[in-house]
């Protein structure tokens, strides 16, 4: 049951745009509070919405293995919810966080151009800090351990390294390409037609 509760649910805003993912636990909470409805495709492809009570009834009428047993009833775990009462409107400014720098640089070392696991990437001050290089969008990039070691406390030129692109403040909202490592339900695909979804960066979705 606890593994069900931590599964991912796609969150749509009032315009039916995919804006986030949350856990089943949070989705059920929002549903129960009347802040969200469950979205499900009917067999004919049309979309149906269910409030908490409707969803609870539906869960009894069509039992499904992916259900959660509460004290008095079973409830099926939702895969997509629609927010009713508020929009998760994007923050205007992209926050300057480690996470967003990784997003901007697409987990790619900005010197050798190779993509890495996040844990194998450092943040590098292009102009070293002790030479007055600021900690800013324009002066901080992802770099792999090897490039970072090679660069040491020098400018890229001195180290014989070149940035693959000039770092700058992202103008976009931090839309994130679908992380294919995340299990993605078929039911999400309908809403992911932009192929992008927004994660509130800087905080974990789990
Ligand atoms: Zn590198």
- The yes-or-no verdict on residue 185 having pLDDT over 60 is yes
Closest CA to 78 of 18, 37, 34, 20: 37
The span from the CA of 95 to the CA of 199, in Å, is: 12
Question: pTM here?
Answer: 0.49
Mean pLDDT is lowest, of 1-10, 21-30, 113-122, for 1-10
Residue-wise pLDDT tens digits, 118-138: 889 999 999 999 999 998 899
If residue 74 lies in a helix (H) or strand (E), which one and from where to where?
Answer: strand 74-76
Reported confidence tier of residue 199, pLDDT bands at 50, 70, 90: very low
More confident: 94 or 25: 25
Residue-wise pLDDT tens digits, 39-61: 988 777 788 999 999 999 999 99
β-bridge pairing 47-50 and 36-41:
antiparallel
Q: How far is the CA of 147 from the centre of ligand 1 (A)?
A: 4
Closest CA to 10 of 88, 85, 67, 103: 88
Q: How far is the CA of 95 from the centre of ligand 1 (A)?
A: 24
- The yes-or-no verdict on residue 183 having pLDDT over 90 is no
Note every long-range contact of 51-58, with CB atoms under 8 Å and residues 24 or more positions apart, other chains counting.
Answer: 55/31
Q: How far is the CA of 30 from the centre of ligand 1 (A)?
A: 43
Contacts of 53 (CB under 8 A, 6+ apart): none
The span from the CA of 36 to the CA of 95, in Å, is: 27
The span from the CA of 100 to the CA of 94, in Å, is: 8
Q: How far is the CA of 109 from the centre of ligand 1 (A)?
A: 5
Mean pLDDT computed over every residue of the chain? 81
């Amino acid at each position: 049951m606890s593994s069900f509760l931590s599964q991912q649910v796609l969150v749509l805003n009032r315009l039916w745009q995919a804006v986030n993912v949350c856990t089943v636990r949070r989705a059920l909470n929002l549903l129960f509070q009347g802040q969200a409805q469950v979205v499900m495709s009917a067999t004919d492809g049309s979309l149906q919405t269910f409030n908490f009570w409707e969803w609870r009834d539906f869960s009894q009428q069509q039992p499904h293995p992916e259900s959660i047993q509460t004290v008095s009833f079973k409830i099926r775990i939702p895969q997509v919810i629609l927010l009713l009462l508020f929009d998760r409107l994007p923050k205007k400014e992209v926050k300057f966080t480690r996470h967003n720098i990784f997003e901007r640089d697409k987990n790619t070392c900005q010197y050798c151009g190779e993509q890495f696991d996040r844990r194998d990437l450092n943040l590098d001050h292009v102009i070293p800090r002790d030479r007055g290089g600021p900690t800013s969008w324009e002066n901080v990039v992802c770099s792999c351990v090897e490039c970072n070691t090679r660069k040491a406390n020098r400018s890229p030129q001195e180290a014989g390294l070149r940035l693959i692109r000039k770092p700058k403040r992202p103008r976009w909202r931090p839309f994130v390409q679908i992380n294919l490592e995340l299990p993605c339900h078929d039911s999400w695909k309908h809403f992911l037609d932009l192929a992008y979804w927004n994660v509130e960066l800087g905080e974990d979705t789990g």
